[in-house]
Structure 1
Amino acid sequence: MPSFFQFTQGTESRVRVNNSDSSPLLGRYRAVLPQQRGPRRKTSQLGLLANSGRGSVHVGYGALLVSDSDDDDDEDEENGDIEDGLNAWQRWWQRWIMDLWVNPRQAAVRRVVGKWYMRYGFLVFLPAALTVAWCSLPFPQYSIPEEGDDDDHLHAPEDKTPGHGKARVLVNFWFFVFVYYGLYNVTALFWITKIFNLYSLNWWPSSLGFPLTVSIIAMLSVAGPIPIYYIDKTRFLTIHNTSWISWTFLIMALPVAIAFLILRNNERHLGLRNSLSETQRIFTSSWWTSDTETFARRDRRRAPVTDDLFDPTIAPSGGLARPRGRSARTRWFPASFVRFLWFCVALFIGLMAYVLGEAYAELYLRTLPHDSWETVVYVYGWVVTVHLLDALTGWVLGIREGERVGSYPLSWVFKLYFMLTYQTYVRALYARLRSPKQFVILQILSSARLVVLTPIMMTSLFHRILTILGLTTLSFGTYQKLQTRNVFIRFLAENASMATFLGSILVLHFGPNKDVYPYFAFDKSSDSGDDYDFDMTFWASGVTWACELVASLVVRGLISFFFKVDVGLEGRMDLAVWPELLPTSVAATLHVLQNMLFSIVRLRFKT
């Protein structure tokens, strides 16, 4: 059985250079100019580092790409030799599937992100198009029985009309489970898998391999709800979107649980798991205690072990002496295992953000209509909530080695995840704004916050204030790099969410699934007692998108003018240095965009 996504924890490539306080440590890479390794055959900058990296926060960070051009040349030549023996279909599969999505290669990803239309085509329009295509798959639909029908009580909606509207049709349960919901869960599993790839750890058992393990979980994801549907006492759960979302939450938690059990089985949580050789035992207390186990290699970030750890005479609270090995087992957890626990915490916060967003949106929709002030309070209440969760996750992940997880690429993806989560719920809100005035107020607040506050937050004075208040321990260079990265990620989130929103309301308002998504029906007699017009929503949202593009260009220009930093270049370099970021970002975007639409589908099934 072949095994995909071959990653092993702790094998990430590193650049061996002297550390410098002026150069930030980004994940497992230090942003300084590496040592030259000899004369170059040629220079291949691929449009990423024009003018020797000018426009980057750190030239040394960009120099990573230039210094590795020899390796890239070798990689390109190796790929060329391999592709020479393949037919046209095999070459296409290797270049556009394997090298970009399954086992990303730097040369292949650099080739893609070096062209702006391909970069935004992959990161923005590809997940948007896949999401729109997914929600437009025509449901088999049936008329709702008249009141008093014998079977109507099995499908009766809630007493209070939900925020996404009353059900207008019955849908086929099997189509929903195996096609619509099945694709939704496959995307969720793909996202979790790519997150583990960034963490450099396989979550599936090596004895089963990835294809078999993920197939079993995918089958479980669609088989689990079937008994609930066929049991009369539990069938009512199937009409609640929250029930399906909760089941997906459990499915997404399975890879985390499996990885935890694998580490436990391999005793990765223990410091004593390797046998000592006879020579090694001479230099340890095991020579006279007959203990054949030893500590795994200590991580340099761990505090020194106290002497009493090796004292065989120390007794536990019960008064009986215990072997040294058992004492050490209970006193020492390897840094790699602690790092994994922090990684699980970050995943849990990310998954819970979606559940909280669902509840927040439902609260707003059940209390419609709202005036402009209430709309602003709702939007910015959600903004504060998302940013707090984002800040907590960012602290858990860290970006410096030794800081809990300590992974810059993971912090990159989770920043995108939370930015998209915020944006998608704001987009869904646009379908219930009652006048162009409300669009204008929200856009003025959003654009002003971006254009005015972002450059201010990038100044050394603002960084110094945060340092004095104890809100950051980063150097100014690292802090400025992160702020620039966040602007690039916001640009991706805004465009992907808006492209999906406009595309989805078109296909759902005029397409065959209009009655499955009453939220986008825009009927004159709406359930909330207020009118929401399709034309106003579509064109006002389009104007809002144009304003967001202008605001993004303005803030990029201000950053370039005042700080001599190119936002686009920073984003391209991140994607090129860490090629796994490309498929992981696309998976995260697709998953969050699907969440936006799944939360408003109206489910009543025909028996």
Structure 2
Amino acid sequence: MPTYFKFTQGTESRVRPNDSSPLLGRFRAVPPRDQQIAASQVNRLDVAGGRGSVHVGYGALVIAGLEGHQDDDEDDDASNEDLDGIPRLERLWQRWVVDLWVHPRQAAVKKIAEKWYTRYGLLVFLPAILTVGWCSLPFPQYPLPPGQVDQNPSDVHTKAPGHGNARVQVNFWFFIFVYYGLYSLTALIWITKVFNLYSLNWWPQSLGFPLTFTLIAVLSVTVPIPIYYYDQTRFLTVHNTSWISWTFIIMALPVTIAVLILRNNERHLGLRNSLSETQRIFTASWWTNDVDTLSRRERRRGNRSTDPFGGDDVRVSRVSRLRSFRQRWFPASFIRFIWFCVALYIGLMAYVLGEAYAEIYLRTLPHDSFETLVYVYGWVVTVHLLDALTGFVLGIREGERVGSYPLSWVFKLYFMLTYQTYVRALYARLRSPGQFIMLQIFSSTGLVVITPIMMTTVFHKILTILGLSTLSYGTYQKLQTRNVFIRFLAENASMACFLGSILVLHYGANKDVYPYFAFDDESEDYDFDRTFYLSFVTWGCELIASLVVRGLIRVIFGVDVGLEGKMDLAVWPELLPTCVVVILHVLQNMLFSIIRLQFRA
């Protein structure tokens, strides 16, 4: 009898694909056949209109497909046909809200990413403007009671903290429902967008997203209320670190809920539904009777006293196999999710550590140039270690823990921003132009000199020999180029927000709520004009350094950094809204860490 099907047991689970199809979250992204054929003819895309790229794998496949359809009018026509008969307002809502932020479409994001002013307008200036607007919302303020230095007992009769003594009391209800409410709302949206990249819903299906999200948002602003009104715990509400820690708990709730949901659905036990007889023909279970094909109903009925067909012996055999199965096997998807949770918790811990680090620095001011460098580069080392650990957990290929390139992209941006925002806040406490110059020399030297060296084949070979990298040179070069683009976003977004915030907080209604930016303490040698203009000059130097390193990479390696960033956004459209929310949240952290809280109900 001829053999119609050739079975090879276990090959799919043991053979890992190469970089040509990395995971998009939990699912493997495999392009259509015509894109694979087109991409197979492209070794390295040349320089005009989407060329000069080191995009490897699925990115190259998609871009090759996009290059084969260069008429954007076709996409526009298709979109117009889909929206025919819909009112203009609804069409605008669909194009600029739904297609970009709610359910991002590749064509819509690609159009935004192609133009540098729309690309950087959304990724750099939009979150900076939103953050500046958030911190400039005028607090209802009241004078401090006569003779009260600070509500915080640790500050009375001691040196003022680095972010200044409180000068006014603020309305607690405005803080909790408006200021902190918007802050925690952004944090929850960030967690949700990260789960979207992972292609997993964190909320219970029975409740749905709107209700679950609303309940957690309400919880975030209601739990602190009794803490404030209880005399023994009220002191916690004047500490910024307490609010940051509470936000950490709120952001960890979706992660915990997702774990409980998967646990309840027995996702860690393999298949939740039994295979049909037809499906079993194409699996090893047809001749091995593998327990992995047992349905949840069968698992739960395994403890019955009798079996209607096979007797007690069959029941005992099934139960023993099930127990063995529970002890020895977890599916790769569940293990991948656990790694994903680990990465999230590391990221959440980063800004708690950053708040504590900044608090230590601010309470030990003033510092000389050497101490400033120790602080800055001590924080640099800390952030890069956390970044490296998270990068290891996430990976970019299947089999490397999570194995998701988009998630590694977002977390790289998160850590780069976390580092940059605390450095920006430091600028307000630099005492001389010499300190600005010293920091800029170290920063620019590291970018212009070290970055091209790290992209060479020699450096890659050294990492490979030492066992620090298992990536091909093309993939490694792609990641280094991506990191340069991400650093560009982090530097510009953080500096735009810093300059805008010190303007509105120094001259605006919240000057006394943010004494850190008041610059009116005659006993301290801090000056607004010096800080603002030297920071502006520093920003210009950073832009020049970025252009220089981009030029070097283009000349030496033939790679366009801006093009790489544009391609990533076009290939993974969910990156756009996720990155905007991540930038917004981290910028809010910078300002939240230096607000001075004295409450009056």
**TM-score category by the smaller chain?**
0.7 to 0.9
| Contact 2:273–2:294 (CA under 8 A) maintained in structure 1 | no
Corresponding residue for residue 491 of structure 1: 488
Corresponding residue for residue 460 of structure 2: 463
Corresponding residue for residue 408 of structure 1: 405
Residues 38/245 of structure 1: CA separation in 2 closer, same or farther (3 Å cut): closer
Corresponding residue for residue 95 of structure 2: 95
Partners in 1 of 2:115 and 2:456 — Cα distance? 30
Partners in 2 of 1:579 and 1:138 — Cα distance? 36
Amino acid at match of 2:121: G
Match of 1:521 among 513, 518, 534: 518
SS in 1 for 2:111: helix
Corresponding residue for residue 566 of structure 1: 560
1:543 aligns with 2:534: no
- Displacement, 1:429? 0.2
Residues 597/39 of structure 1: CA separation in 2 closer, same or farther (3 Å cut): closer
Corresponding residue for residue 213 of structure 2: 214
Amino acid at match of 2:34: Q
Q: Which moved more, 1:204-213 or 1:248-257?
A: 204-213
Match of 1:394 among 391, 396, 418: 391
Partners in 1 of 2:23 and 2:600 — Cα distance? 51
Residues 153/370 of structure 1: CA separation in 2 closer, same or farther (3 Å cut): closer
Corresponding residue for residue 174 of structure 1: 173
Match of 2:361 among 364, 367, 376: 364
- Displacement, 1:520? 0.5
Corresponding residue for residue 283 of structure 1: 287
Corresponding residue for residue 602 of structure 1: 596
- Displacement, 1:54? 2.5
Q: Which moved more, 1:510-519 or 1:158-167?
A: 158-167
| Contact 2:134–2:179 (CA under 8 A) maintained in structure 1 | yes
Q: Which moved more, 1:419-428 or 1:363-372?
A: 363-372
Q: Deviations over 1:85-112 (max 9, x none)?
A: 2212111100100000000000000010
Corresponding residue for residue 12 of structure 2: none
- Displacement, 1:295? 12
| Contact 2:56–2:474 (CA under 8 A) maintained in structure 1 | no
Q: Which moved more, 1:102-111 or 1:62-71?
A: 62-71
Corresponding residue for residue 12 of structure 1: none
| Contact 2:21–2:30 (CA under 8 A) maintained in structure 1 | no
Corresponding residue for residue 185 of structure 1: 184
Corresponding residue for residue 346 of structure 1: 343
SS in 2 for 1:170: strand
| Contact 1:136–1:507 (CA under 8 A) maintained in structure 2 | yes
Corresponding residue for residue 474 of structure 1: 471
Amino acid at match of 2:79: N
SS in 1 for 2:86: coil
| Contact 2:150–2:165 (CA under 8 A) maintained in structure 1 | no
Q: Deviations over 1:494-551 (max 9, x none)?
A: 00000000000000000000000000011133xxx53100000000000000000000
Amino acid at match of 2:206: S
| Contact 1:272–1:328 (CA under 8 A) maintained in structure 2 | no
Residues 492/154 of structure 1: CA separation in 2 closer, same or farther (3 Å cut): closer
Amino acid at match of 2:287: F
- Displacement, 1:363? 1.0
1:329 aligns with 2:326: yes
Corresponding residue for residue 109 of structure 1: 109
Amino acid at match of 1:64: V
Corresponding residue for residue 83 of structure 1: 83
Q: Deviations over 1:340-370 (max 9, x none)?
A: 1000000001011101111111111111111
Partners in 2 of 1:49 and 1:464 — Cα distance? 26
Partners in 1 of 2:553 and 2:433 — Cα distance? 31
Corresponding residue for residue 420 of structure 2: 423
Corresponding residue for residue 15 of structure 1: none
Amino acid at match of 1:484: T
Corresponding residue for residue 5 of structure 2: none
| Contact 2:151–2:238 (CA under 8 A) maintained in structure 1 | no
Q: Deviations over 1:287-309 (max 9, x none)?
A: 9x99766999xxxxxxxxxxxxx
SS in 2 for 1:164: coil
Amino acid at match of 2:600: K
Q: Deviations over 1:122-154 (max 9, x none)?
A: 000000000000000000000000127xxx996
1:235 aligns with 2:234: yes
TM-score (norm 1): 0.85
- Displacement, 1:374? 0.8
| Contact 2:36–2:61 (CA under 8 A) maintained in structure 1 | no
| Contact 1:157–1:166 (CA under 8 A) maintained in structure 2 | no
Partners in 2 of 1:584 and 1:49 — Cα distance? 30
Amino acid at match of 2:594: I
| Contact 1:271–1:294 (CA under 8 A) maintained in structure 2 | no
Amino acid at match of 1:163: G
| Contact 1:273–1:294 (CA under 8 A) maintained in structure 2 | no
Partners in 2 of 1:387 and 1:585 — Cα distance? 19
Corresponding residue for residue 64 of structure 1: 62
SS in 1 for 2:53: coil
SS in 2 for 1:434: coil
Q: Give the gaps of 5 or more residues in structure 2.
A: 1-14, 39-44, 300-311
Partners in 1 of 2:35 and 2:548 — Cα distance? 41
Instruction: Point out the structure with the larger helix share.
Output: 2
| Contact 1:31–1:58 (CA under 8 A) maintained in structure 2 | no
| Contact 2:268–2:330 (CA under 8 A) maintained in structure 1 | yes
Q: Which moved more, 1:57-66 or 1:220-229?
A: 57-66
Partners in 2 of 1:32 and 1:553 — Cα distance? 35
Q: Deviations over 1:5-35 (max 9, x none)?
A: xxxxxxxxxxxxx9996x6654459999975
Q: Deviations over 1:177-222 (max 9, x none)?
A: 0000000001000100000000000111122211111111111111
Amino acid at match of 1:84: D
| Contact 2:190–2:585 (CA under 8 A) maintained in structure 1 | yes
| Contact 2:35–2:61 (CA under 8 A) maintained in structure 1 | no
Match of 2:51 among 51, 54, 60: 54
Partners in 1 of 2:46 and 2:214 — Cα distance? 42
Partners in 2 of 1:238 and 1:292 — Cα distance? 50
Partners in 2 of 1:487 and 1:295 — Cα distance? 53
Corresponding residue for residue 309 of structure 2: none
Partners in 2 of 1:57 and 1:475 — Cα distance? 12
CA RMSD of aligned residues (A): 3.1
Corresponding residue for residue 9 of structure 1: none
Amino acid at match of 1:423: Q
| Contact 2:460–2:476 (CA under 8 A) maintained in structure 1 | yes
Partners in 2 of 1:570 and 1:291 — Cα distance? 46
Q: Deviations over 1:261-319 (max 9, x none)?
A: 111111101125333556757634479x99766999xxxxxxxxxxxxxxx99xx9xxx
Q: Deviations over 1:466-507 (max 9, x none)?
A: 111111111100000000000000000000000000000000
- % of aligned pairs identical? 70
SS in 1 for 2:170: strand
| Contact 1:271–1:329 (CA under 8 A) maintained in structure 2 | no
Partners in 1 of 2:150 and 2:273 — Cα distance? 62
Q: Deviations over 1:546-591 (max 9, x none)?
A: 0000000000000000000000000000000000000000000000
Q: How does 1:190-339 map to 2 (within 5 A)?
A: 190-271=189-270, 273-275=272-274, 277=276, 280=280, 283-285=287-289, 323-339=320-336
Match of 2:34 among 30, 33, 36: 36
- Displacement, 1:331? 1.2
Corresponding residue for residue 593 of structure 1: 587
Corresponding residue for residue 308 of structure 2: none
Q: Give the gaps of 5 or more residues in structure 1.
A: 1-17, 41-47, 297-311
| Contact 1:157–1:167 (CA under 8 A) maintained in structure 2 | no
Residues 536/84 of structure 1: CA separation in 2 closer, same or farther (3 Å cut): same
